């Protein structure tokens, strides 16, 4: 990790280089930088070249060959994000309005209107998460992702079973936070409609208001204690639970992804792109990535530049994510994965805005 104790002049020059690179996508030459600072005293072409050299030695700028301009490294983007998040820096040395939180460059009315219109008609957590992945892909030109939370910490409100076909049952789980989760269970033994209704009634009557992760353990205990009296009914309940009716299941939590084509059009290195897509298509890896970087107990946006831990091919990507909450519970994670040439300030605000939108769209009616 390079030494990031930069002087005010070095910080201003680095910010300018990053913002020019984001805007143009081209390596930034000293001449372009000199034009940018044409009205600033003390920043001659010679001075700028010297500062760029210092930044290069610090590992913040990369130069492919001697006559080429400079490209910000992942370390430079990390430093830039840190300035946005912690000091409210908005553009080449300027500060945000004191009335805004750190880094809070407000969304334009047009962008807020676009987001609000995109979520029109959304009435369930499933619809909200599915729509989120599409909207974030659209406005970021990157990958929009929404991950439903696991059942950890959630409380059962209601469960319903429907027989789909031989050996297959649809379980619909509603939590007290208003989240709706559904999954198809593949059973070892055929259960009739009556057995499914009895199992659902038993769970709803006995476990409404229980933390979901405790219910399976209690079912297993009751199977042993009350085997003689309720053997057939409890056996049906136990199999439904064992097959994932009250757990994330073998397939993991719901994951919505949109915008894969965006990354194809913005990457020139096709082989690295192929490797990156392989990493992203591994659903479990992506789930682990979101869970590692975005804490559902916090409300803040998390920005991670360089996703090397997921795949070496993802080192030039950035993740911007935030938890979506509902009724005090964690509904899931909403995020963008995009090339490091992203409009950080706008996307940080967009992700935050959409994450908070869940409370308004899915407001739980008062009892």
Using 50, 70 and 90 to split pLDDT, how confident is the model at 2?
Answer: very low
Top-level class of domain 8-95 = mainly alpha
Calculate mean pLDDT across residues 357-366. Answer: 73
The band of 96, judged by pLDDT with boundaries at 50, 70 and 90, is very low
| Overall average pLDDT of the 262-281 stretch | 62
- CATH 3.30.450.40-classified regions of the chain: 109-149+253-361
Model pLDDT, residue 13: 92
Question: Counting beta carbons within 10 angstroms of the beta carbon of residue 187, is it exposed (0 to 12), middle (13 to 18) or buried (19 or more)?
Answer: middle
| % residues pLDDT > 70 (the chain) | 71
Instruction: Read off the pLDDT band of 161 (50, 70, 90).
Output: confident
Q: Considering the chain, tell me which residue range(s) the CATH 1.10.10.10 domain(s) occupy.
A: 8-95
Q: Read off the pLDDT band of 250 (50, 70, 90).
A: very low
Q: From edge to edge, which strands make up the β-sheet containing 168-175? A: 156-165, 168-175, 180-186
Question: Which tens digit of pLDDT belongs to each residue from 5-42?
Answer: 888 899 999 999 999 999 888 899 888 888 888 776 66
For residue 105, give every residue at least 6 positions away whose Cβ sits within 8 Å of its Cβ, in sequence order, or none. Answer: 90, 96, 345, 346, 349
- The stretch 138-160 carries a mean pLDDT of 80
Indicate the pLDDT class of residue 94, thresholds 50, 70 and 90: very low
- The predicted pLDDT at position 248 comes to 45
Residue-wise pLDDT for 324-337, tens only, equals 887 767 788 899 98
Pick the CATH number of 156-245 from 2.60.40, 3.30.390, 2.60.120, 1.10.10: 3.30.390
Stated pTM of the model: 0.67
Phi, psi angle pair for 325, to nearest 5°: -120, 160
User: How confident is the model at residue 354, as a pLDDT?
Assistant: 93
Report pLDDT digits (tens) over 183-224: 788 887 788 888 888 888 888 998 888 887 778 778 777 777
- DSSP label at 366? P
Q: Are strands 255-258 and 302-305 parallel, antiparallel or unpaired?
A: unpaired
CA–CA dist 333, 355 (Å, integer): 8
- Could you say which architecture CATH assigns to the domain 109-149+253-361? 2-Layer Sandwich (3.30)
**Of 351, 235, 251, which is closest to residue 293 (Cα–Cα)?**
351
Residue 76 is predicted with a pLDDT of 92
Q: Report the range out of 50-64, 170-184, 311-325 with the highest average pLDDT.
A: 50-64
List where CATH 3.30.390 sits in the chain: 156-245
What pLDDT, on a 0 to 100 scale, did the predictor assign at position 280? 63
Q: Given a cut of 70, is residue 352 above it in pLDDT?
A: yes
User: 156 or 283: which carries more pLDDT confidence?
Assistant: 156
């Amino acid at each position: 990790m390079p030494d990031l104790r930069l002087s005010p002049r070095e910080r201003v020059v680095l910010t300018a280089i990053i913002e020019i690179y984001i805007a143009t996508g081209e390596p930034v030459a000293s001449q372009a930088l000199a034009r940018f600072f044409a009205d600033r005293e003390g920043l001659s072409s010679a001075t700028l070249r010297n500062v760029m050299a210092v930044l290069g030695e610090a590992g913040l700028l990369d130069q492919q060959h001697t006559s080429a301009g400079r490209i910000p490294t992942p370390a430079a983007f990390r430093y830039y994000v840190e300035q946005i998040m912690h000091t409210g820096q908005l553009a080449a040395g300027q500060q945000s309005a004191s009335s805004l939180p750190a880094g809070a460059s407000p969304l334009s009315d047009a962008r807020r209107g676009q987001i609000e219109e995109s979520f029109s008609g959304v009435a369930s957590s499933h619809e909200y998460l599915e729509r989120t992945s599409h909207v974030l892909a659209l406005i970021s030109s990157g990958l929009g992702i929404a991950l439903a939370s696991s059942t950890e910490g959630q409380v059962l409100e209601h469960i319903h079973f429907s027989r789909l076909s031989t050996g297959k049952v649809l379980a619909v789980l509603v939590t007290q936070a208003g989240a709706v989760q559904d999954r198809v269970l593949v059973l070892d033994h055929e259960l009739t409609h009556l057995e499914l209704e009895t199992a659902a009634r038993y769970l709803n009557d006995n476990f409404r208001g229980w933390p979901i992760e405790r219910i399976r353990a209690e079912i297993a205990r009751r199977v042993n204690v009350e085997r003689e009296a309720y053997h057939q009914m409890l056996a049906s309940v136990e199999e439904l639970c064992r097959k994932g009716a009250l757990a994330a299941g073998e397939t993991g939590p719901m994951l919505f992804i949109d915008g894969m084509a965006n990354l194809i059009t913005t990457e020139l290195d096709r082989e690295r792109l192929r490797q990156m897509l392989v990493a992203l298509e591994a659903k479990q890896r992506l789930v682990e990535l979101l869970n590692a970087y975005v804490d559902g107990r916090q409300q803040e946006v998390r920005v991670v530049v360089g996703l090397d831990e997921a795949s070496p091919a993802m080192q030039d990507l950035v993740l911007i994510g935030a938890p979506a909450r509902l009724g005090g519970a964690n509904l899931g994670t909403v995020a963008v994965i995009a090339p490091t040439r992203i409009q950080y300030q706008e996307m940080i605000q967009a992700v935050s805005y959409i994450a908070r939108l869940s409370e308004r769209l899915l407001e739980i009616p008062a009892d």
